[in-house]
Chains A and B, each alone.
Chain A
């Protein structure tokens, strides 16, 4: 583990973030703590997606399916078998991870676009199965959990786990496996030539990221107290991917911005729309159905054009500009700046 300059900034940001999260409950009221618990659940699921897409370079549009698995494992075990709901969380992650591995083996013979299309199938198939086997899952009507949490309880349950998962993700990506992932993202052919076992590594990436999504799903179920197949439609997978992109592909710290985006932008879409249309003089109804989707789709497009490396990329650029200012303010700074590392944890 090297403590070079490139490490201090993201580490600093992570610590600052952790501090904010610890202090936030003192300031927020219960409803908002509740929402923040959802942010934590999405954060974990998005971390998983980041590992798969941002680091190993495989697109998945199916991660809502793995969240579904985690949510149902938790629900079924705690409601039908009397498990303590918190105890189900690791198992939820494990079952989802196994599902991810099992999907990985056949599917990873497919390249790029074929793989993305195959992942499309995951939530569709799982939702249909959940609706079919009603006895187990409560079918289309859904299933309620036994324990209903207050906002504060949800917050205190989800965020410590989110912290643990973040550190876990960081450790995984820091080591050999992480390097293997990054090599695969750059070039599969190069990866093979340095001895990376392509199938095994990609399957591991799928499995690990599915496990994260499963834990996210489990926490989501615990927080909301109710589980229903249609929560996990492809639209949610898309939203997760959007969050990862907006946060910044390849940046673990960026995922928190993605998670905030996923929870709050659809919620505040009417306000955002108002804010945009007032100076322009338009008077569209911001509460109409479909308005939130237009808002967050437009924001996504904007991010893709203006800040393709997401919020994390913007922060990195800002820091780079600041550093340059610090150097040249002394008059004779070093002439050519070293290009900063592209991917920092």
Chain B
């Protein structure tokens, strides 16, 4: 039982990282109906920026963290304006390919600038455990979960209570009508990409310490889990992305603990994807998604 609680908490810590990235994917998908395949690499690039500030310029973690989030927000908006917007009238496949091109470029750029050797990013959180009765609760997992939850709640509040948040939601729901109401929809899209980039940066900066060492490909596993979480939750549902991410983290952790023979570390990912495929066959719109009725 104590093992169980421990693994659940550890799973929530991992799941928080997937949830953050999954939320980024959902944000962009809701606004532009495009899957940004480069979302993980954007987070990776941001993490390298933070690493560089800490290691090469002597910053401490939290200033680097917040500065990187700011830079990532601006970078995400810039990418939307320069790379994605000119292609907005081309087909969906073209835009998907553009995000794939971004993926390739960002990955190569990170290797080029910072070299592909393994780097260390230390977590700002203690790596020990708390004793709660019999249970040893891993501290880092709890803090990761808290950070992500704070981000999610702040974002939710922004969308729910501010005028710009309302305009962003409006642009996602009906861009044409929003333009007629005076909303500069392309700026809204840029802001959406900015938020997504910021969330990816958070995911990366939490994932790098969790993986002990990191190198340019470190976010590729994370983004696959994030895709699975986003789709599981229903690709347009922010709540679904968060819940899906957390659930996936916990499930994978528990499976790995209780079925170590079957679920070797290499097998974790395929198992996650098999679960995803199974869910999608029975509920094509995801667990929390709304089935889209197609009129024939």
A adjacent to B, CB under 8 Å: yes
User: Which residues of A come within 8 Å of B, CB atoms?
Assistant: 53, 59, 106-107, 109-114, 116-118, 120-121, 124-125, 128-129, 131-132, 189, 192-193, 234, 238, 241-242, 245, 249, 284, 288-298, 300-301, 304-305, 308
A324–B8 CA distance with the chains assembled, in angstroms: 70
A116–B92 CA distance with the chains assembled, in angstroms: 12
Q: List 14 A–B pairs whose Cβ atoms lie within 8 Å, in order of A's numbering.
A: A53-B93, A59-B96, A107-B277, A117-B228, A120-B224, A124-B273, A128-B266, A249-B93, A288-B112, A290-B113, A290-B216, A294-B105, A297-B103, A298-B101
Is there contact, CB below 8 Å, between B110 and A290?
A: yes
* B111 located at the interface, meaning its Cβ lies under 8 Å from any Cβ of chain A in the complex: yes
Is there contact, CB below 8 Å, between A125 and B280?
A: no
Contacts of B35 on A, CB cut-off 8 Å? 113, 116-117
A296–B112 CA distance with the chains assembled, in angstroms: 14
Is there contact, CB below 8 Å, between A293 and B269?
A: no
A249–B94 CA distance with the chains assembled, in angstroms: 10
Contacts of B98 on A, CB cut-off 8 Å? 301, 304
Q: List the B residue with the shortest CB-CB distance to A118.
A: B277
Contacts of B83 on A, CB cut-off 8 Å? 301
Contacts of B224 on A, CB cut-off 8 Å? 120, 124
Contacts of B235 on A, CB cut-off 8 Å? 113-114
Q: List the B residue with the shortest CB-CB distance to A239.
A: B104
Q: Which of B110, B228, B273, B274 has the most chain A CB within a 10 Å cutoff?
A: B273
Chain A nearest Cβ from B106, distance in angstroms: 8
Contacts of B83-139 to chain A: CB distance below 8 A: 83, 86-87, 90, 92-94, 96-98, 100-105, 107-113, 115-116
* B57 located at the interface, meaning its Cβ lies under 8 Å from any Cβ of chain A in the complex: no
Is there contact, CB below 8 Å, between B273 and A121?
A: yes
* B264 located at the interface, meaning its Cβ lies under 8 Å from any Cβ of chain A in the complex: yes
Is there contact, CB below 8 Å, between B231 and A297?
A: no
Contacts of B216 on A, CB cut-off 8 Å? 290
Chain A nearest Cβ from B273, distance in angstroms: 4
From B100, B220, B227, contact of A241 by CB (8 A): B100
Is there contact, CB below 8 Å, between A117 and B227?
A: yes
Q: List the A residue with the shortest CB-CB distance to B93.
A: A59
A18–B105 CA distance with the chains assembled, in angstroms: 34
Question: Number of contact residues on B: which range applies?
Answer: 35 or more
The verdict on A298 contacting B105 (CB below 8 Å), with A110-B284, A132-B266, A289-B116 known, is yes
Q: List the B residue with the shortest CB-CB distance to A190.
A: B296
Is there contact, CB below 8 Å, between A289 and B111?
A: yes
Q: List the B residue with the shortest CB-CB distance to A286.
A: B112
Contacts of B180 on A, CB cut-off 8 Å? none
Contacts of A132 on B, CB cut-off 8 Å? 264, 266-267
Is there contact, CB below 8 Å, between B104 and A293?
A: yes
Query: What 10 A-B pairs are tightest by C-beta distance, nearest first?
Result: A290-B111, A293-B108, A297-B104, A297-B105, A290-B112, A121-B273, A125-B270, A294-B108, A290-B108, A300-B101
Chain B nearest Cβ from A119, distance in angstroms: 11
Is there contact, CB below 8 Å, between A114 and B100?
A: no
* B259 located at the interface, meaning its Cβ lies under 8 Å from any Cβ of chain A in the complex: no
Is there contact, CB below 8 Å, between A304 and B97?
A: yes
Is there contact, CB below 8 Å, between B270 and A245?
A: no
Q: List the B residue with the shortest CB-CB distance to A140.
A: B266
Q: List the B residue with the shortest CB-CB distance to A249.
A: B93
Q: List the A residue with the shortest CB-CB distance to B92.
A: A112
Contacts of A238 on B, CB cut-off 8 Å? 100, 103-104
* B281 located at the interface, meaning its Cβ lies under 8 Å from any Cβ of chain A in the complex: yes
A234–B41 CA distance with the chains assembled, in angstroms: 14
* B163 located at the interface, meaning its Cβ lies under 8 Å from any Cβ of chain A in the complex: no
Q: List the A residue with the shortest CB-CB distance to B216.
A: A290
Give me 10 other A-B pairs in contact (C-beta within 8 A), A125-B274, A128-B269, A297-B102 excluded: A59-B96, A118-B273, A120-B227, A121-B274, A129-B270, A189-B294, A238-B104, A288-B112, A289-B115, A292-B108
Is there contact, CB below 8 Å, between A128 and B108?
A: no
Chain B nearest Cβ from A276, distance in angstroms: 14
Q: List the B residue with the shortest CB-CB distance to A295.
A: B108
Contacts of B276 on A, CB cut-off 8 Å? 118, 121
A9–B266 CA distance with the chains assembled, in angstroms: 50
Q: List the B residue with the shortest CB-CB distance to A121.
A: B273
Contacts of B212-261 to chain A: CB distance below 8 A: 216, 220, 224, 227-228, 231, 235
